[in-house]
Structure formats: structure tokens, C-alpha cells
């Protein structure tokens, strides 16, 4: 009997929370002008990380960060990524500041702490329900080198 009460209480709590958000949406609608809530940000990052297979997370970068490879990666970043992420990686471009959810600041720990495999997976597959497209047919060393370039400390300041 206790288990049944616990389940009913849990269902009631979920319905109350869903009702709250439903009423809020009905009263205020959706807007891309607002910043995502902390909860929304946490859930979105968790969903993104959950969607990256373990094998991909652990994948090493096959490219050594030589000057030529980093030059190629920077050129690829400027051609494909800077329109949203900005040349400095801040996400404060005309496009990036108007996307919802916001384009991540590539200089922040939430991005810098991603593994090379995670970066490669995100760049190749994109992120559904965001403005992040996938680049499944990259040129030579990209997207791994773009990930390497964007994760080097001086990259986004260059």
C-alpha cells in the first residue's frame, strides 16, 4: 500500500509541474528573446551528453596539433563556424546571439572540458533542436582539427 501511495504522490507531483509549465506557456507563449532557465540548460546539456555514445566520447584525436593542421582547422572554423560562434568563439555574432538555445561560448569550461571525441561527434552530427548543423562530410582533417583548434587555449583569441 505504501508503494502505491508513493507512486500516486509522484504522479501527482509530475502532473502539477507539467500543469504549472503548461499554464505558463499559455499565458506567456514562447520567445527566443528570453534566456533559457538554469533547469533547461542543465537538462539540455545532460541530453546532449547522453546522446553521445561512450565509444565516441573516448575516441582520440588522430591529428597532431601541428602548425599546418591548426591553420587548416582555423580556416575551416572561420568558413563554417564563425557565422554563429563568432571569430573569437564567444557566440556573440549576429546569428549566434539570436539563436535559441543560445550558441555556447566556446571559451567556457562547459565546452573546453569536452573530449576530442565529444567535439568531433557534435561537429559531425550536429545538435538536434538547436541551430547546430552537422558536418558529416568534412574536409581532410576537420572536424577533429576544428575541435582541437577550438580547445586550444589561444585559439579563440587568435
* Residues 77, 87: Cα–Cα separation, whole Å: 8
Inter-axis angle of helices 116-125 and 144-151, nearest 10 = 130
Query: Does 15 map to a domain?
Result: no
Q: Is the pLDDT of residue 155 over 50?
A: no
Q: Is the pLDDT of residue 145 over 60?
A: no
Threshold 0.85, pTM exceeds: no
Q: Contact 31/99 with Cβ under 8 angstroms?
A: no
At residue 87, the pLDDT reads 93
At residue 154, the pLDDT reads 39
Q: Is the pLDDT of residue 67 over 80?
A: yes
Query: Does 14 map to a domain?
Result: no
Please compute, for residue 15, the number of CA atoms within 13 A of its CA located in the half-sphere on the CB side: 6
- Chain Cα centroid distance, residue 86: 15
| Phi and psi based region of residue 126 (left: phi greater than 0; alpha: psi -120 to 50; beta: remaining) | left
* Residues 57, 61: Cα–Cα separation, whole Å: 11
Q: What is the pLDDT of residues 1-42, one digit of tens each?
A: 788 888 999 999 999 998 998 888 888 887 777 788 888 888
Q: What is the pLDDT of residues 74-118, one digit of tens each?
A: 888 888 899 999 999 999 999 998 888 889 999 999 888 999 889
CATH number of the domain encompassing residue 143: 1.10.760.10
At residue 158, the pLDDT reads 44
Query: Does 158 map to a domain?
Result: no
Q: Contact 142/76 with Cβ under 8 angstroms?
A: yes
At residue 85, the pLDDT reads 93
Query: Does 100 map to a domain?
Result: yes
Q: Is the pLDDT of residue 126 over 80?
A: yes
Range of the domain at 129: 53-151
DSSP letter, residue 59: P
At residue 147, the pLDDT reads 59
Q: How many domains does the chain have?
A: 1
Say which residues have a Cβ less than 8 Å from residue 60's Cβ, sequence separation at least 6: 116, 117
Query: Does 70 map to a domain?
Result: yes
Burial class (CB in 10 A: 0-12, 13-18, 19+), 44: middle
Amino acid at each position: 500500500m505504501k508503494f502505491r501511495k508513493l507512486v500516486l504522490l509522484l504522479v501527482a507531483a509530475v502532473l502539477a509541474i507539467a500543469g504549472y509549465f503548461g499554464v505558463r506557456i499559455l499565458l506567456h507563449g514562447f520567445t527566443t528573446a528570453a534566456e533559457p532557465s538554469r533547469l533547461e540548460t542543465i537538462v539540455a546539456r545532460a541530453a546532449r551528453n547522453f546522446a553521445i555514445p561512450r565509444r565516441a566520447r573516448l575516441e582520440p584525436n588522430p591529428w597532431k596539433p601541428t602548425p599546418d593542421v591548426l591553420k587548416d582547422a582555423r580556416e575551416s572554423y572561420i568558413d563554417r563556424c564563425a557565422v554563429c560562434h563568432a571569430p573569437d568563439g564567444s557566440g556573440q555574432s549576429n546569428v549566434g546571439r539570436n539563436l535559441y538555445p543560445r550558441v555556447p561560448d566556446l571559451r567556457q569550461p562547459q565546452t573546453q572540458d569536452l573530449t576530442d571525441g565529444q567535439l568531433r561527434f557534435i561537429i559531425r552530427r550536429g545538435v538536434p533542436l538547436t541551430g547546430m548543423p552537422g558536418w558529416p562530410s568534412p574536409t581532410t582533417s576537420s572536424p577533429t582539427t576544428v575541435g582541437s583548434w577550438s580547445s586550444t587555449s589561444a585559439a579563440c583569441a587568435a
